[in-house]
Structure 1
């Protein structure tokens, strides 16, 4: 066996408490190398009488590795364990000390892997409502101008191509006036990019963290927005920019004037004073002179920012926070942030902007999820650009799944595009069929889908600022077929519980077909996606009595446990399977 590829680590995504009673165990090995894994486990204080064995099931494979899994309910909440791994020609025990052909019982206490105790307070509890959510991301300045009296100077004509400093007059009342549109679309959660006072159109350079930007509205307008959303069953999360402030932030302005005499000097990372922008005498976000980096280790600044997080939940009744540039802020801050936010609203959703592997933030003491850009990237490669085949796509998705715990995967914010990326339809060179297939996967896959405003009607755009065009409200310019597709898929996701809360498992039925099943209690939903120019005839093996074509609304005949399906090029099928009508 390839011993270098075998890996396990307690208190990580390879061994974690899923709930107050259950521990999930994973083991990694080289692809097609391990034939069998037996997990031997018990309470180390009463090992002989508590010892049990269970064969670990094969979970999935990525580009390099196979993964095995087991779910254990340990007695007394304590777990000591080791693995017996069988290869083609050898069997080895695997403990914290490595590999051995023999293992003495007295060695288990010293060398066994351990999950010492399931402390319920350590279990990562994610908000239940997020599992049922379909998010819609809004860039307020470009969504709709609902109040022309608060427009900035030199507002551009709605629909002109944006430049970096363009203003078009979108505001909070604009979102309120378009709530009927969001309800008809079927979404039940919105995430807005920042709305606090700032000189820019994007508002990521905050001037005042406790004041709504006057060009967007005021506190009362925001309260009305949140109240009206909640009346419609729509959750609302705001965008917090705590990595950096704006140049016009009161504390930074005080530092400019007073230098080290300012009580706010240590709120920032000042290299030297007086403050200069050429060269930069202070640290910033991405060398942007208008965004001085905040020193979140400073106790007074920390107190200020945590109060901001609490304030908006209490004052506006929001349902959570999206956290900008979350990976550049210290973990100590985020741990305290979670404590404050969850104490204020226990089911608040905390989602960080992290573009890479994010496990250090996702073990239950910081974020609930991240904006799942690894998901975005693999979907673009497969659906939009066709750079990889179906096998590599599955492997890439599996790698993402195995990078996180199950409860995190259940609430990951899965997006195809955002205000920081090319729009998907631009990446696919205008091919709407590719967007349909990608969104079919997004809206039936595990996790929480997030739709960027306008994607559902066929909007395009390259990198910032082009991806931040004005929302198109002329229905004659909408792709109505695409919009109908989105409405149908959102309706299906909202109606069928397996698509929101069910397990996820690939099924391999034919090359070039993406196929998987979501299962919840006694219901299964099968999803087949043909990202191919050829028609496919498929035999689907089922162990239930009833099969419904969800999109067409008609039942399908099951003959001897087999359903015969024809799936056309660039088409998807969704079936509900159960034992009763």
Structure 2
């Protein structure tokens, strides 16, 4: 069976403006500086991690943080030129790494050309229908002689009326440029949970005609993910339910939480998202680094075992493979989106985490069951958890232990086989006796066991 490329992806998420050390604000006048090429330096590191897809946060001309777009057709001058982006993507593709960009279609900067025309010409502007809730009977919080809708009451982010055919044409024209000239492989749709669903359906149809295997993923926090991830719309959404469960089940010494979510979502018989390849992550540009969220840093190890072995596709946020810390400050995400230098990352206090992730990532790459297999819970306790992934003839049992000390667990595997091979720990073999597998799990670690028939 042939699988889509994104079903076998391991993502690396980079926030380029921060990662590349770009100035915080765009003056619109400075010379373009090709900071984006810094990503090329990290390609050997990404390849070692098993990365085959890079997701780049917002990179087009913007006012400040990238989610306040000014021009959808030009790379942000703080990162380079359009030629910079073309060359970077070409270089990544030569190393078998696909590229997904941020599609920020819900809102734009106040410096966006159409909004500036609206400010200048007001009721006589030809762009009055490009934005939501324009009202010339009251003033905006910025003093404009009209009010408008901002995203989540952030009035520096002006909500686009994507149901307007002219707006859709403008955005789709940009998407065509990104696909045909830059040769991107997919888009992550910003705030997809509030983006017009009919717009996303038309976008899905449009991109599929240009590039048959083009991938669309939506940022969704709450709700039924199948409202967005379905045959007519998107391939996947962000899996915020399991993001929360990954850290809180460790902090609360309660694997029942993540076990409940995984069973509800992916159980081979009644899981509500079985067959969907959701986008799994431990942290990103909007939330605290997982190393800062966990009460016990040793839990980074079982957490990443889970991230790479549960159903869906795993994503690493740049720097977190070394256990980089960072917490959101009041009205600032700067600590979450830092500039990093590759040569200094080995000095991080959790620097040995990288080697563990490389090992786990390699196992995922080599295992069809971990990439595509069904999910079945086998055992759960407060600090130990085991499940089965099965695809065709391959059966993989994953066991994690959040306790500091080694713990012996007893896993029922009556119909699976008689011998298991530990792929994670020196290829040790264990025997099943009387329909039960009893084995010791190292503290704050786990086992990835291949069932031998």
Query: Are 1:194 and 2:50 an aligned pair?
Result: no
CA apart distance, 1:275? 6.3
Question: Could you tell me which of 6, 12, 19 is aligned with 1:143?
Answer: 19
Alignment of 1:313-462 (within 5 A): 313-357=179-223, 358-383=225-250, 385-386=251-252, 389-401=254-266, 404-408=272-276, 411-429=277-295, 431-462=296-327
CA apart distance, 1:506? 0.8
Aligned counterpart, 2:354:
483
Aligned counterpart, 1:505:
376
So what's the TM-score if we normalise by structure 1?
A: 0.70
- Structure with more contact order per residue of length (Cα contacts < 8 Å, sep ≥ 6): 2
CA apart distance, 1:576? 1.2
- Are residues 259 and 127 of structure 1, via their aligned partners in 2, closer, same or farther at CA, if it must alter by over 3 Å? farther
- Are residues 403 and 198 of structure 1, via their aligned partners in 2, closer, same or farther at CA, if it must alter by over 3 Å? farther
User: In the aligned structure 1, how far is the partner of 2:117 from the partner of 2:25?
Assistant: 30
2:431 aligned counterpart, secondary structure? coil
- Are residues 286 and 235 of structure 1, via their aligned partners in 2, closer, same or farther at CA, if it must alter by over 3 Å? same
Query: Are 1:239 and 2:102 an aligned pair?
Result: yes
Identify unmatched segments of 5+ residues in structure 1: 1-18, 20-125, 146-150, 156-168
More displaced stretch, 344-353 vs 302-311? 302-311
Q: Deviations over 1:212-270 (max 9, x none)?
A: 01110111111111111112111110001110011111111111111122111100121
CA apart distance, 1:465? 2.9
CA apart distance, 1:552? 2.5
Query: Are 1:298 and 2:168 an aligned pair?
Result: no
CA apart distance, 1:472? 4.8
User: In the aligned structure 2, how far is the partner of 1:296 from the partner of 1:530?
Assistant: 48
Aligned partners of 2:263 and 2:376 also within 8 Å: no
Aligned partners of 1:143 and 1:171 also within 8 Å: no
Aligned partners of 2:25 and 2:63 also within 8 Å: no
CA apart distance, 1:511? 5.9
Question: Could you tell me which of 320, 324, 337 is aligned with 1:468?
Answer: 337
Aligned partners of 2:256 and 2:380 also within 8 Å: no
User: In the aligned structure 2, how far is the partner of 1:182 from the partner of 1:534?
Assistant: 32
Aligned counterpart, 1:256:
119
User: In the aligned structure 1, how far is the partner of 2:341 from the partner of 2:247?
Assistant: 24
CA apart distance, 1:452? 0.7
User: In the aligned structure 2, how far is the partner of 1:197 from the partner of 1:180?
Assistant: 28
User: In the aligned structure 2, how far is the partner of 1:171 from the partner of 1:127?
Assistant: 35
Identify unmatched segments of 5+ residues in structure 2: 27-32
1:492 aligned counterpart, secondary structure? helix
User: In the aligned structure 2, how far is the partner of 1:341 from the partner of 1:222?
Assistant: 20
Q: Deviations over 1:479-537 (max 9, x none)?
A: 33111111111111111221111111110276632100111111111110111244322
User: In the aligned structure 2, how far is the partner of 1:326 from the partner of 1:557?
Assistant: 46
1:554 aligned counterpart, secondary structure? coil
CA apart distance, 1:144? 3.6
Aligned counterpart, 1:277:
141
Aligned partners of 1:375 and 1:400 also within 8 Å: no
CA RMSD of aligned residues (A): 2.4
- Are residues 252 and 154 of structure 1, via their aligned partners in 2, closer, same or farther at CA, if it must alter by over 3 Å? closer
Query: Are 1:266 and 2:122 an aligned pair?
Result: no
Aligned partners of 2:188 and 2:216 also within 8 Å: yes
Aligned counterpart, 2:396:
525
So what's the TM-score if we normalise by structure 2?
A: 0.89
Q: Which has the larger radius of gyration?
A: 1
Q: Deviations over 1:514-573 (max 9, x none)?
A: 100111111111110111244322344363355221122324142556544111322211
User: In the aligned structure 2, how far is the partner of 1:359 from the partner of 1:174?
Assistant: 37
More displaced stretch, 210-219 vs 306-315? 306-315
- Are residues 251 and 565 of structure 1, via their aligned partners in 2, closer, same or farther at CA, if it must alter by over 3 Å? same
Alignment of 1:537-548 (within 5 A): 537-540=408-411, 541=413, 543-548=416-421
More displaced stretch, 174-183 vs 505-514? 505-514
Aligned counterpart, 1:78:
none
Query: Are 1:536 and 2:407 an aligned pair?
Result: yes
Aligned counterpart, 1:131:
7
More displaced stretch, 493-502 vs 466-475? 466-475
User: In the aligned structure 1, how far is the partner of 2:90 from the partner of 2:263?
Assistant: 39
User: In the aligned structure 1, how far is the partner of 2:283 from the partner of 2:449?
Assistant: 27
Aligned counterpart, 2:41:
177
Aligned partners of 1:256 and 1:275 also within 8 Å: no
User: In the aligned structure 2, how far is the partner of 1:404 from the partner of 1:208?
Assistant: 39
Q: Deviations over 1:269-306 (max 9, x none)?
A: 21227864346711111222221100111111111112
Aligned counterpart, 2:175:
309
Aligned counterpart, 1:567:
441
Question: Could you tell me which of 554, 564, 567 is aligned with 2:427?
Answer: 554
Aligned counterpart, 1:494:
365
User: In the aligned structure 2, how far is the partner of 1:154 from the partner of 1:244?
Assistant: 18
